[in-house]
Chain A
Amino acid sequence: MPAPNPDWVKALKPSGPQGSELLEQERARSDLNVDQLATFLFTDEVLNRRAKILEILQSDPVFDKSQNYFRGRTERLEAALGRAKALRQLSVKHQWSEEEYYAANELISEPTPYGLHDAMFLKTLKEQGTPQQHELFLKRAEKYEIIGCYAQTELGHGSNVRGLETTATWNPEDKTFTLHSPHLTASKWWIGSLGKAANHAVVVAQLILNGKSFGPHPFIVQIRDFKTHEALPDIHVGDIGPKFGYNTMDNGFLLFNHVKVPHVNLLSRFSGVDPNTGKYLRPANPALIYGTLTFIRSSIVLQSGSVLARGVTIATRYCAVRRQFQDHDAEDGKGENQVLNYTMVQHRILPLLAASYALHFTGRAMFDIYNANQKRMSQQRLTKDTNRGAGPEELNPSSDLLADLHAISCALKAFASTTAAEGLEVCRRACGGHGYSAFSGIGTWYADYLPTVTWEGDNYMLTQQVSRYLLKAARAVLSGKAPDNSISQVLKEYIRRQDIGAAFDILENDEDLVHAFAWRVAYLTFEALKHRDEEKRPWNDLLIDFWRLSTAYSQYLVVKYFYEALQSEQTKASLDANTLALIRKLFQLFALHHLQSHASEFFTSGATTVRQIQLARTKRTLALLHEVRPHAVRLVDSWKFPDWQLDSSLGRYDGKVYEDMFHRASQENLLNDVVIDPYPDSPVLFRKGPKPKL
């Protein structure tokens, strides 16, 4: 480590006013009850649990974060593996529940090489394995004797699962399957935990019986030796190299050269092969398989609020500490202005602050629907199987909660993850030049979050599924066969008022604001339906319309859920009147912000007039920014991110931004151990300090 700073450096302070004073002032000028709001957002139970776990993690040197930003790829992976192991041990020692284990992972805030074992591998074994397979594989996996991953995506195929090229061919003579990779593009690719950590994989491959393909199915395959951890014969496996982020994860590739596995390795709770006849056993209810995917998408929606809130917390605190230039209209002699006072900065950060809350409430509503559906499905399972042959988007949309849930989760996954990812970059830039430093704490976080917008359904791809659902709902409404679910009501209401007009009071009435978003969805849905059904336009030509439609639908849902959360009795009982009023302003800010960014759709559909949009922009939004501004720091405080989790100089709770930046740069930076030779003609590079080999 570099030598300590000389005494005269240690004695230096930032020029006044100090960051800590500025944040104190910020907190003093707002009366928002942070603890009350935090309890409402998370519950005391969750907050206490987090505090308890934080203490355990902070006291263990393996979780020390000080070198995170400096390490190279290999060192990062090694550190992450050490943390994954320690976390597993702690989990056993303290008998952590699943929630507690995830809370610990969240505090550590980086993917670990056990990530896919914990999430996808165990879940797939549990949900798709038979009791016999649970006995054989799941038990050992839960003890971490078997360490696994979920190998679906290939070099040549991602979204289109049906197009996977890896084959699993049934051999009736010895009752085995042969797994094989016929092309280079058949290589499994991107598979988390596969590159280095796993000794088993759930491999999704085309099931071939008697020369005929029955589509992709999951097989459990051992890929590395239990003792040596080297790849087994005819298996080629490794790490795919550096990525934009996620560099603590060993995403892997995997190729098979005619590898045999026994019959029992086909996970066959839902479908399988009769070992005696070689006949295919059809799935009873394929929709059940979609349950996992819906769960993952719902989780993405639930997390998106806090993912974004982290960036907003850092940017808001830093912009309150950072001062630059005098205010244009201020008298001479006044000090420099806090950057957060500039409307140009507020205009970028505060709508995102509002969005973090909006997404939080949306995530909750999403899970309520998910749980309701789970409950109903398990009841249904008890009675009888409905034996449907199609995916959920093919089902009758309005009568089936699962179809609603599927469409809502697709729409919201796309919107929420895009909003969070793009919002983080806006936050980083709002921190000005210092946002580019790793110590901002936003860059790595953003880079690690980025794959979310393309995985579990590419955000653009998903919009097609949403639109298909909306078109179906519209057709049902027009033919008079639609049931009374939420989307049908929106569409029917539009038809009913089509000739009366809308005239929503978006500036004064919150409920009307929700109606305006609903109106726009209905308008765009019927427009798209006209293009498709009457004008017979090709599907491909409509994809952009579909993407707009799906975005409009997502925004409507978010606005609606946010509004409903504010109306609920539980909310009213948990929050005092001032807090409630403030959150209501965030609601309005969020809604009006999106209304303005898509202004043309609102006035084209007749949901609002041009004049209303103009007033929203020039008057109402500006007023909201001013009203929210004094509470900004307390509003981000309410997310209760521990400093240890943020790992950010700029976002520190105490405002000691500059002290921390200087400390990290001068005292934790290994490069400062080095003395170099600067002259071009000298072959010497590093004169003193560690000399890496290139």
Chain B
Amino acid sequence: MAQNSWVDQLKPSLPDGPSTLAHERGGSSIDVDAFAQHVLGGEYLQRQQQVLEILQKEKVFSKEKQANLSRPERYMLGLARGKRMRQLQDKHGWSDDDHEMAKYLVDEISPFQLQNTMFRQTLREQTDEAQRAYWLRRCEDWDIVGAYAQTELGHGSNVQGVETTATWDQSTKEFVIHSPTLTASKWWNGTLGKTANHAVVIAQLMLPDPSAPTTGKTRFKSFGPHPFIVQVRDMKSHLPLEGVVVGDIGAKFGYDSMDNAYMLMNQVSALLARYSAVDPETGAYRAPENRAVVYGSLTHARKRIVMAARLMLARAVTVAIRYCAVRRQFKSKDNPGAEHESSVLDYTTVQIRLFPLLATGFALHYSGKVMGEVYDRTRSAVEEEGNLSNLIDLHSLSSGLKSLSTELATSGIETARRAMGGHGFGGETGLIGLSRDYLSKPTVEGDNWMITQQMARYLLKKAKLIVSQPGLKPSNRTESTLAQYWQINCDKKLPRTSRPLDVLNSDSDIVAAFEHRSSFLTFQAYEASEVHGKGYDKLMIRLHDLSNAQSEAILVYNFYDQLSADTKLPFSTKQVIWKLFRLFALFTMSKHSRDFERSGAVPKRDLDALADDHLVDIMASIRPHAVSIVDSWKFPDYLLNR
């Protein structure tokens, strides 16, 4: 490219970005390192540093030009990176955590993703011992490259409805996989489009119907979706095997480096994972013994989603806050004589968009952390004593939390992008790829609007329990909160709290207000469904709102509990985090002020005060620390710079 020397000599007009940010950092008393230790931990920070150094030396991981590439080029680059990543793992003896960190920093989905995750996990968890020894070793040695094929063109959320069949052939003692319709085509399955030579395929297990007459043609009956191991491409030529039509599904909103697949199968032989489930002599089904409860691992997975949401959101907010501090536009209306234009971050209309998001990142952090700890603590309790109550409680609540946190993160990323004005649309923000890749989250692994129903139904069940057994001893926080509410409000007069709450001055009252509102909505929904017999379909929207209300209560009480329990943070730093707590909680409260008023949790005059001044005042007190707070997330420029 041609360059002109006079261009190289141009500087931004003053005050420039570095001096503005230095000034911002000088104006805050926050201890950034202590804050980073508190949120991320020393081990994490050290790992980030080590892995980053290795990656930055590798040319293939340079992000400079990737946004200009076409789709096949993006995939090719992803493949090259995937291969290199695998080599680095061996070379440096990376642990799983190191590898996770590297993937996070490279910040692009690898075409090998499913080989490392669902394919391997299914081989490990859903197979018989002998199968496991054979297949898992081949997978871990990279003899085979595998994918996981569950969703179909016609079915996503409803797994029971998959149309692909796997029919038992008594003569060969094998299964034959088949796609009877076009909608049976596997669809969206990562790593399968171009990369994998094997796949775990979810198909309806078709066995001879035991209740059918034994003479004549065998009648088959479905025993529901099961995982099968299928070879899909030739080990040498890498071309699809006979009867397999497989390929990449084409352009998407994001995820360009991944080869999401379609796949149709015409009578292809397959192996049932856990083959002991079918008697090879008779083709009869043997129901599996109940395996150890899966709640734990699901909760663990959701913890990871919440923790990832926190980082994605924090990243977008980091970029936006730094940029808005540097960006100046117009002189202040209240101070027209000012020397420079105002930093955009001084505008309250910018603050109201960014600061609540800044606080949300921390709210997600504390709940994610608690989920992880409860998981670790109770896993042993489950195995030893079989006490599931707390874990089930957390699991049910975590479905709503997954929904709310990914929702907050996706909309937050976009809000942060728009807060940057026109430049937010450009490639230089580093938010384009982030936003586009992350946008898949609200609809994958349980559509957000679907899984909130699980959470709400759990709450309704608890309400029913409490109404029917008034003296019951509560076994977890949700039950005791609901029981307490019911004790005061079972007379069904105007809803009220046990004592008046002062949310403007008391942090613990804020927590109480959120739990009260959630209980109120729970019993309202309970009343509509159980007492007035409203149809489920009519209640869905309300249940969705209920789930979000409960999730907000969880975010608020975990934030409060965790911060109260901390003993290590320097005083002035902790004071600022308390402000973030208040901002998150009160901003959320203000958004749903009607709920808080009619549930009797917060009087109208307090809600008016919130909307009028209180939030603006909190934001003003956070403003000097904004840049230091985002610094505490310690995002390397390599990650932000994509």
Contacts and interface: CB of A to CB of B under 8 A. Distances in A.
A9 B249 contact: no
B425 A244 contact: yes
A185 B238 contact: no
Interface in B215-273: 237-239, 245, 247-255, 259, 262, 264, 266
B349 A669 contact: no
Interface in A626-674: 658-659, 661-662, 664-666, 668-672, 674
Contacts of A187: 10
A666 B594 contact: no
A277 interface: no
Interface string B134-165: 00000000100100000101111110010100
Nearest to B329: A160
B76 A692 contact: yes
A347 B151 CA distance: 26
B556 interface: no
A664 B68 contact: no
Contact of A665 (B76, B248, B604): B248
Contacts of B551: none
Interface string B374-391: 000000000000000000
B616 A541 contact: yes
Contacts of B535: 328-329
Contacts of A6: 245, 266
B607 interface: yes
Contact of B251 (A69, A544, A599, A661): A69
Nearest to B60: A694
Given A243-B427, A255-B10, A694-B77, A544 B540 contact: no
B10 A184 contact: yes
Contact of B193 (A546, A671, A682): A671
B517 interface: no
Contact of B73 (A9, A160, A692): A692
**Residue from A5, A327, A618 having most chain B Cβ neighbours under 10 A:** A618
Contacts of B613: 541
B425 A450 contact: yes
A678 B608 contact: no
A538 interface: yes
B593 interface: yes
Given A540-B346, A675-B239, A70 B181 contact: no
A327 B535 CA distance: 11
Contacts of A153: 422
Contacts of A243: 425-427, 432
Contacts of A2: 247
Interface in B264-309: 264, 266
A190 interface: yes
Given A443-B253, A450-B425, A666-B247, A185 B158 contact: no
Contacts of A336: 158, 161
A569 B83 CA distance: 70
Contacts of B611: 600
A171 interface: no
A15 B181 contact: yes
Contact of B142 (A14, A544, A669, A680): A680
Interface in A427-461: 428-429, 432-439, 443, 450-451, 453-455, 458, 460
Contacts of A672: 247-248
Given A257-B6, A540-B346, A12 B264 contact: yes
A14 B163 CA distance: 10
Nearest to A669: B250
A438 B248 contact: no
B201 interface: no
B13 interface: yes
Given A327-B537, A674-B194, A669 B425 contact: no
A589 interface: no
A613 to B, nearest CB: 7
A540 to B, nearest CB: 6
Interface string B555-598: 00000000000000000000000000000000000000110011
B199 to A, nearest CB: 13
A342 interface: yes
Contacts, number: 339
A676 B245 contact: no
Contact of A12 (B179, B250, B417, B424): B179
Interface string B170-202: 000000000111111101100001111100000
Interface string B421-464: 11111111000100100011011100101000000000000000
A680 B82 contact: yes
Interface size class of A (residues with CB under 8 A): 35 or more
A365 B537 CA distance: 38
Interface residues of B, number: 123
A15 B82 contact: no
A245 B73 CA distance: 19
Interface stretch (B22-30, B330-338, B364-372): B330-338
B250 A662 contact: no
**Residue from B75, B417, B435 having most chain A Cβ neighbours under 10 A:** B75
A70 B68 contact: no
A31 interface: no
**Residue from B70, B145, B251, B537 having most chain A Cβ neighbours under 10 A:** B251
A681 B426 contact: no
B349 A454 contact: no
B86 interface: yes
B56 interface: no
A432 B238 contact: no
A344 interface: yes
A72 B334 contact: no
B244 to A, nearest CB: 10
Interface stretch (A120-128, A234-242, A383-391): A234-242
Contact of B79 (A15, A438, A543, A676): A676
A458 B421 contact: yes
A433 B188 contact: yes
Interface string A50-80: 0000000000000000000111111100000
A271 interface: no
B72 A324 contact: no
A163 interface: yes
Contact of A241 (B10, B250, B426): B426
Contacts of B71: 70-72, 670-671
A101 interface: no
Interface of B: 1, 4, 6-7, 10-13, 67-73, 75-77, 79-80, 82-83, 86-87, 112, 142, 145, 151, 153-158, 161, 163, 179-185, 187-188, 193-197, 237-239, 245, 247-255, 259, 262, 264, 266, 327-330, 332-334, 341, 346-350, 352-353, 414, 417-418, 421-428, 432, 435, 439-440, 442-444, 447, 449, 528, 535-538, 540-542, 544, 593-594, 597-598, 604, 607-608, 611-613, 615-616
Sorted nearest first, the 6 A-B pairs with minimum C-beta distance are A72-B70, A438-B251, A680-B86, A69-B251, A443-B253, A539-B333
28 contacts: A12-B185, A72-B68, A184-B10, A236-B7, A241-B428, A243-B426, A245-B425, A324-B155, A343-B538, A348-B449, A434-B156, A436-B252, A436-B254, A436-B439, A443-B253, A451-B425, A453-B418, A454-B418, A539-B333, A540-B332, A540-B334, A544-B352, A544-B616, A600-B597, A600-B611, A671-B194, A671-B259, A692-B73
Given A73-B70, A75-B70, A160-B341, 20 more contacts: A5-B245, A14-B181, A15-B182, A70-B250, A160-B330, A184-B11, A184-B12, A190-B423, A328-B537, A329-B535, A347-B540, A438-B250, A438-B252, A603-B594, A659-B182, A665-B262, A678-B196, A680-B83, A690-B72, A694-B80
Interface of A: 2, 5-6, 8-9, 12-15, 69-75, 153, 155-160, 163, 165, 181-187, 189-190, 234, 236, 238, 240-246, 255, 257, 323-325, 327-329, 336, 341-345, 347-348, 425, 428-429, 432-439, 443, 450-451, 453-455, 458, 460, 463, 531, 538-547, 599-600, 603-604, 610, 613-614, 618, 622, 658-659, 661-662, 664-666, 668-672, 674-683, 685-687, 690-692, 694
